[in-house]
Structure formats: C-alpha cells, structure tokens
Structure 1
Amino acid sequence: MTTFTKQNDLHFAIVVGIDHYPALADLKSARHDAAQFYDWLVDPAFGAVPPANVITVQASDPVMSIDSVLPTQKQIINAMHHVQCTVRQAVTTDPEAFSRTRLYVFVAGHGITPSDGAGGALLTADATPQLGYHVDLRKYARWHRKNGLFREVFVFADCCRVASNVPYGFVPPFTNEPSGMSTDAVVAYATTAGGSSIAQMSGSGARGHFTRALLEALRGAAVNESNDITLASIENYVGLCLGQDQVADFHPKKTASVVLSLRPPAREVRFVFPRPFYGVVQVFRGDDTGTTHPVAGNHLALTLRPGLYRREGRRRTPAADRTGRASSRPGRASGPVPPHGGQPARSAGQQGRREPRSGPRKR
C-alpha cells in the first residue's frame, strides 16, 4: 500500500479533452470534464500533483479544419514520452525515488473498441470514418507494466467503447527498456466494451456521468472503512452513481490495496431537522463504529471526514426531555456526507441517484 501526505514532485499527469472532431460529431462535455479533473489533480488537498508536472494536451476550437485540428496521436505520444524521460532521469539519479512515482492519464472524447480485442481507445481529433487515428489505452498501460518506469499508473477514460472496423489497436511506439521494477497499472473505462459513455447538460454546462461520479469519489465520497480512497472503493461508488445507465469497467479488478488519494480533510457538516428535535443522534460509519450526540433544536453540527454515514435518532418531546422519559417516536435516516461541508446529507432514498437527464449525449 502506498500513501502520500503532501505534494509529490514525482507525480505526473496527462490530461486530454476533445470536443471538436471536424469529420465526426462534435461533443460538448469532454474539455469541461478534462478541466475539472485538472482541478482535482493540482488541489493540494486531493491529487496534490505539482502544476508543472501536469501536461494538458492542447485541444482545438471548432473553427479548426481537419488538416490543422489538435490533438493528434503524435501530440499525446509526445506528452507521454516527456514525462517518461523526466521520471527515468529522476530514478536513475536516485533509485529510491521509484517508490514515489505515479502517473495519471485522463482522457475524454470519442472512443472505440478496436476489433482485435476488448480494450478501449480514444479517437484523436483528426479521426475520420475511414481513418481511425487513436490511442489504445490498455496497450499503453501494458507497456508501463512491462517497462516499470512508474510505481503506479492510473488511466481514466470517459469515452465510448463502440465496436469499430479498425482492425487493431496501435501499439505504443516507445522502445522497450524494462527497468526490472514492478508497476501497478490500472485502466478505468466509463463503460464496458461495446457500450456508450453518457453526458448531459446541467446548470454548469455539459458533464460526463462517469467523470462527475469519479470526481465525487476522489473528493471524498468513496472513503472506505479505513478512511482511505482506494480503487476498489472508487469503483463501488461510481457503480452506485451510474446505476443502469452505463457500467464502468476497471482493469485489473484486484486493486483493493491501492490507495489512490490523500485522506480528505475533515469539514463541518450540519444535519438540519424540519422541526425542533430533542433527544440524541448516533452517527455511524460504514464499519458501524459511531458516536452519540445530544440535540436540542433544529440542527446538529459535526466535524466529519467525507464518506458514507448512517445516522439514527431517538426523539423526545420538550416535556419528556425535562423528565428523562423518551418518546416512542424514534427517528432514522441515512446518507453520505458530501465532499464539501455545509449541506445536509442526502436521504437514503437519494443514495446513488442521478438527476433526471436533459438531452443525454453519447460519446
């Protein structure tokens, strides 16, 4: 298990979001999703990646033609090569630094499944119906496992994986130079092979369902019983959020021991009651450990780390509270504490539910 407590100068990231495809249908949410993931990466309380270590691959505006549109395969490959050279030099200078190395790759845009396997590939901006320029994400993850440049590699892909006539996924053009070190490399797709990734319009613009759930998880909603955010807890939370609309696909599956995020900071959370409440409230974590709090009024303020909690209360009338005799009307509710405090927890009926879609779009 690897954990980190501060910004790490050997954590790197590559972020790609493509909305404009001159020869294909344009998208509305990919660049926004990429920007949101960038914000998580550089936030000292969460990803804690130094901004200088994040490469945001340039994406073109809609006015660009097929001959000048960006990004292409070459741009994305060059970004990967740059971080590879940087970390190779660092580990050559200090071999013990390898244990602190990590690479994040986030991509959003159109996607396909090449016909030679069950992987998933991001179509680059210059792709056409006849020219399926792409980056096959699982093959890049395999290259990193074989060559051992980073201790950990995490790839998140918010794109479709529709079947295509592209005969095979392009392999990484990097030369093989195995370091002898072990790399944990995980690819998390927004959908299963052959499936579609769904986006929708909201008040803040178009958002991909997968990216939205992923960032909620990374910001604290997927904290497990050990107060960590692991790939296993993220996969579980994302699955609850997506429901039956789409099914996320994580590879490999045995990732429970990998701690992906810093432990999120505790925040003040207010439980608001619809009318004055007199009695006691017990707040339980997922492992059923809990605390008891007396309440006399309309709210209860607690300092909690983000995660899933269950709350139970036993109500007393004002008169009964003075005599110590409890009312026979117990109260019970449950829900997750949001990643940012100050809002009431959602009820059990809202757990994992998405807002109604308005004009869903598939990538």
Structure 2
Amino acid sequence: MATAALADRAIVVGVGRYPTLGPKSTPRDLKGPQVDAGEMADWLHRNGAHVTKITSSGDGDQQWDVEDLRPEFSDVERPLNKLVRDAEALRDEGRPVALGRRLTIYMAGHGFAPSHKHLALITAEASSGLTFSLQATAWVDWFSDQTHFDEIVCWMDCCTIADFAQTSRVPIGAPRHRRAHGMAKLLTIYAAPPDQFAYERPDENGVVRGVFTRELLKALNGAAADEDGQVTTSSLKSYFQGSGLTGTAASTESSAERPKPYFRDDDEIVLAEIVLAEGELDRISIHSGLPEGTAMKIQRDGKATVFDGIAGPDGVIQIPLTTGIYALRAGPVTKLFEIGAGSTSDVRL
C-alpha cells in the first residue's frame, strides 16, 4: 500500500492545437487547454505533487521540434508507462510497489466517449478520419485495484460526445500488483455529462479558459472549502451544484448553457486544506434576498471577483471571505456589504 511519505504524482496534459482534425484536414484548435494545463500544474505543484506537464508547446520545459504536430499519442502515454516501469523496478528490487499516496491525471482538449464508461483525449496528430487518442479513464481503472496509489483523481476538461465507432488506446498488459483489501479511492470528473459538449470562454481578464477548469481551480483554491477548511469530494459536488455557468461550446461557435460537471467516480477524498489568512472567516453565508437561481457576482474592493455563480436555495450562497468591502451585482441590482473583524458568519442583504 502507498504511504504518505511518498510524493503525490500528477500528469497534466493540455492540447490546444489540432492542425488536421477539422473537415478535410483543416485546423480545429482550442484556446483554453494550454493555459488551463499551466494553471493546474502550478496548483498541483504548490500542493506537493511531482508534476509532469505536457502541452501543445512542449513537454515540461522542453519545446517540441515540430510544434504543430505535438503532443502526439506517444507523448501523452509516455508518463503513464513510466509509472508502470517504476513499479516494476521496485518489484525487481524486492521493495513494496508503492509510488505515492495519490495520482492525479488532468487532461484538456478535444475528446470523445469510446464507450458508455470511458472518456478519451484526442491528441494533436489526429485527423477527421483517424482519431488518435488516449483513454485516460481506462488507466484510472487499471491502477485502481493495484498497489501503486491509494487515491486516484482524474479531471477531464473535454467533450463527452459518444463515438463508439472510434477506438482509443488503453493500458496493455494485465495488472500485476493487486491490492489485498479493496480498491484505491477514485474521483473522476468530466466537464459535462455523457454525450454533451465542454465549453470555453474568456475570463474576466479576457483570457480564454475552459469553464470547467476555471471553476474547478476556484473551488480547489478555497471557494469549495467546507466548515473545516477542507476541499473534499462532497464540498466540490456542492460547489458545482450551486454554480451557474455559461459559455461557448468548444466544438461550435454558438453560445449555450454549460452542463454541470459529471462525477463518474465519487469516493470521498480530501483534495486541499485551506489555510485561512489573518482576518479571514471560515465561511460566510450571504443571504442575498434574491430568488434561487439568480446569476450574480461578488467583488472585493471593486476589483477581485470572489464569486461568479447563482444564488442557492432561499437566495443563500456560502463562500470564505477576508475582511473588506464587497459588492454583490445581479443585473441592475447592486448591494454593498462589509466583512470586518467582528462580523458574524451570516450576512443579510
């Protein structure tokens, strides 16, 4: 069994350039995946993971020689195969086959569902007639009943449109290091439910981001923290259930409401421990006085947006806040409030 003394591992992939994926081998590029992969890699690194990052620009700090055709399938599969080789090396040395407490797999780009259970990321060399892809969720399942990791987290920011005629690469070889007692804990989240689009749109700074990844990182950085200051599977579910997200479909030019993220696996996992800054309250319940489902933003000191979503039941939202002056904006309505050292955990507007 893996131990907490071993570093967490993470594989982060963002594919934004697809030179020949469109009709008649035309480009079908995305703007968000490279930025999103960089932000996710930074978050994972800050939280103690050993991160392998692969994007359309390069593998880590190494740039591609043929930029527009990478990363190809073998580039994305390589770090997964390295985990397998690392495990075999431990076995050959007579040591326990434990690579870390947690493996996190993050992939963003075009994708499809090759079966009802799985989701695959399309790689850069794909064309409209030949879809090169890697089935990330098959790797999750392959590792799940082995001793490599105690927890496996997989976040997929790509479309989930079913295409059962296409095939995608899965792990080769039977599992060799079975767990003695139960499976590893699994948390697998797709940007959208089965057979739907994922979305990207400009953020408040005009940078195009995947809507799912942007909201996921907000949640991981504290917006989804529970009363104990932890971001968990349960608190992440609650956060997404209360978020009203819209955007532009990654595969079309039309605007539409973005579906809620889909939890394929939802074992309870502590994803982050939020350390509160001086003057920060554990969690504030803001009673907006507006109907449930009302779209709103909350900004601190007229600058930073700390909430961008919809009002929950009875118009209430719950978020951690530092001391400061805040503005809640919902259409033509603006409501100001202040969080001070003596503020309670309930604010009624």
TM-score by length of 2: 0.69
Change (3 A) 1:250 1:344: farther
Q: Structure 2 CA distance, aligned partners of 1:169 and 1:232?
A: 31
Once the 2 structures are TM-superposed, how far is the Cα of residue 67 of structure 1 from its aligned partner? Answer: 10
Once the 2 structures are TM-superposed, how far is the Cα of residue 184 of structure 1 from its aligned partner? Answer: 1.5
Q: Equivalent residue of 2:170, what SS? A: coil
Q: Equivalent residue of 2:172, what SS? A: coil
Q: Give the alignment of 1:73-112 within 5 angstroms.
A: 73-86=73-86, 95=96, 98=98, 101-112=101-112
Same amino acid, percent of matched pairs: 24
Q: Is it true that 1:163 corresponds to 2:166 in the alignment?
A: no
- Whether the 8 Å CA contact 2:101–2:149 is kept in 1: the answer is yes
How many corresponding residue pairs?
280
Q: Is it true that 1:214 corresponds to 2:216 in the alignment?
A: yes
Change (3 A) 1:100 1:60: closer
Q: Give the alignment of 1:252-267 within 5 angstroms.
A: 252-253=265-266, 255=267, 257-261=268-272, 263-267=273-277
Q: What amino acid does structure 2 have at the position aligned with 1:265?
A: V
Residue of structure 1 in register with 2:309 after alignment = none
Q: Equivalent residue of 2:197, what SS? A: coil
Q: Is it true that 1:57 corresponds to 2:54 in the alignment?
A: yes
Find the structure with the greater CA-based Rg.
1
Change (3 A) 1:184 1:345: farther
CA deviation profile, 1:184-222 (whole Å, cap 9, x unmatched): 222110001111111102315111110011001111111
Q: Structure 1 CA distance, aligned partners of 2:86 and 2:324?
A: 43
Q: Equivalent residue of 1:194, what SS? A: coil
Change (3 A) 1:252 1:235: same
Once the 2 structures are TM-superposed, how far is the Cα of residue 117 of structure 1 from its aligned partner? Answer: 2.3
**Which one scores higher on RCO, CA 8 angstroms, separation ≥ 6?**
1
Q: Is it true that 1:15 corresponds to 2:12 in the alignment?
A: yes
Once the 2 structures are TM-superposed, how far is the Cα of residue 175 of structure 1 from its aligned partner? Answer: 4.3
- Whether the 8 Å CA contact 2:13–2:37 is kept in 1: the answer is yes
- Whether the 8 Å CA contact 1:147–1:180 is kept in 2: the answer is yes
- Whether the 8 Å CA contact 1:147–1:176 is kept in 2: the answer is yes
Q: Structure 1 CA distance, aligned partners of 2:327 and 2:223?
A: 12
Q: Equivalent residue of 1:163, what SS? A: coil
Change (3 A) 1:113 1:10: same
Which ranges of structure 1 fall in alignment gaps of 5 or more residues?
269-301, 313-332, 351-363
Once the 2 structures are TM-superposed, how far is the Cα of residue 310 of structure 1 from its aligned partner? Answer: 4.3
Residue of structure 2 in register with 1:26 after alignment = 29
Once the 2 structures are TM-superposed, how far is the Cα of residue 229 of structure 1 from its aligned partner? Answer: 1.2
Q: Equivalent residue of 1:147, what SS? A: coil
Q: Structure 1 CA distance, aligned partners of 2:20 and 2:65?
A: 9
Q: Structure 2 CA distance, aligned partners of 1:151 and 1:141?
A: 12
Residue of structure 1 in register with 2:147 after alignment = 148
- Whether the 8 Å CA contact 2:18–2:68 is kept in 1: the answer is no
Q: Structure 2 CA distance, aligned partners of 1:308 and 1:342?
A: 11
Q: Equivalent residue of 2:11, what SS? A: strand
- Whether the 8 Å CA contact 1:219–1:264 is kept in 2: the answer is yes
Residue of structure 2 in register with 1:186 after alignment = 187
- Whether the 8 Å CA contact 2:119–2:137 is kept in 1: the answer is yes
CA deviation profile, 1:295-341 (whole Å, cap 9, x unmatched): xxxxxxx3324x453479xxxxxxxxxxxxxxxxxxxx9654457x4
Q: Equivalent residue of 2:222, what SS? A: helix
Q: What amino acid does structure 1 have at the position aligned with 2:274?
A: P
Q: Structure 1 CA distance, aligned partners of 2:209 and 2:171?
A: 30
Q: Give the alignment of 1:200-211 within 5 angstroms.
A: 200-202=201-203, 203-211=205-213
Q: Equivalent residue of 2:149, what SS? A: coil
Q: Is it true that 1:248 corresponds to 2:255 in the alignment?
A: no
- Whether the 8 Å CA contact 1:213–1:242 is kept in 2: the answer is no
TM-score by length of 1: 0.67
Q: What amino acid does structure 1 have at the position aligned with 2:45?
A: V
Q: Structure 2 CA distance, aligned partners of 1:221 and 1:76?
A: 31
Once the 2 structures are TM-superposed, how far is the Cα of residue 170 of structure 1 from its aligned partner? Answer: 3.0
Residue of structure 1 in register with 2:69 after alignment = 69
RMSD: 3.5
Once the 2 structures are TM-superposed, how far is the Cα of residue 59 of structure 1 from its aligned partner? Answer: 2.0
Q: What amino acid does structure 2 have at the position aligned with 1:260?
A: L
Q: What amino acid does structure 2 have at the position aligned with 1:199?
A: E
Change (3 A) 1:122 1:310: same
Q: Structure 1 CA distance, aligned partners of 2:194 and 2:326?
A: 35
